[in-house]
Amino acid sequence: MAAPIERLEDIAIAMVADGKGILAADESSATIKKRFDTIGLASTEESRRDYREMLFRSEGMKKYISGVILYDETIRQNAADGTPLADIIRQAGSIPGIKVDAGAKPLAAFPGETITEGLDGMRERLAEYYALGARFAKWRGVISISDSLPTWGAVKQNAQALARYAALCQEAGIVPIVEPEVLMDGKPGDHSIDRCYEVTQWVLKTVFAELYDARVILEGMILKPNMVIDGKNARKASVEEVAEKTVRCLKSTVPAAVPGIAFLSGGQSDEEATAHLSAMNANFDLPWKLTFSYGRALQAAALKAWGGKPENVAAGQRAFTHRAHMNSLAALGGWEPELEKAA
Q: Considering only residues 13, 26, 195, 326, which one is a binding residue for ligand 5MM as defined by CB under 6 A?
A: 26
Q: Considering only residues 5, 10, 19, 28, which one is a binding residue for ligand 5MM as defined by CB under 6 A?
A: 28
Kindly state the DSSP code that residue 115 receives in the 8-state scheme: E
The count of residues interacting with ligand 5MM (CB under 6 A) is: 16
Measured in Å, how far apart are the chain's first and last C-alpha atoms?
A: 32
Min dist CB 288 to ligand 5MM, Å, is 19
Q: Which amino acid is at 258?
A: V
Classify strands 65-70 and 95-99 as parallel, antiparallel or unpaired.
Answer: parallel
Give the 3-state secondary structure of residue 289.
Answer: strand
SS3 content of the chain, % helix, strand, coil (to 5): 50, 15, 35
Q: Considering only residues 51, 266, 274, 323, which one is a binding residue for ligand 5MM as defined by CB under 6 A?
A: 266
| Other residues' Cβ atoms within 10 Å of the Cβ of residue 20 | 24
**Could you say which residues in the range 223-252 bind ligand 5MM, by CB under 6 A?**
none
**Could you say which residues in the range 273-332 bind ligand 5MM, by CB under 6 A?**
294-297
**Could you say which residues in the range 118-177 bind ligand 5MM, by CB under 6 A?**
140
Name the nearest CA neighbour of 288 among 13, 94, 96, 63: 13
27 touching ligand 5MM, by CB under 6 A: yes
Q: Of 9 and 73, which has the nearer Cβ to ligand 5MM?
A: 73
CA distance linking residue 252 with residue 236, whole number of Å: 24
Q: Of 103 and 307, which has the nearer Cβ to ligand 5MM?
A: 103
- With CB under 6 A as the contact rule, which of the stretches 27-35, 40-48, 303-311, 313-321 interacts with ligand 5MM? 27-35
CA distance linking residue 149 with residue 157, whole number of Å: 14
Phi and psi at residue 292, to the nearest 5° = -115, 150
Q: Which residues participate in catalysis according to the annotation?
A: 179, 224
Q: Of 149 and 229, which has the nearer Cβ to ligand 5MM?
A: 229
What is the binding site for ligand 5MM (CB under 6 A)?
24, 26-28, 31, 69, 103, 140, 181, 264-266, 294-297
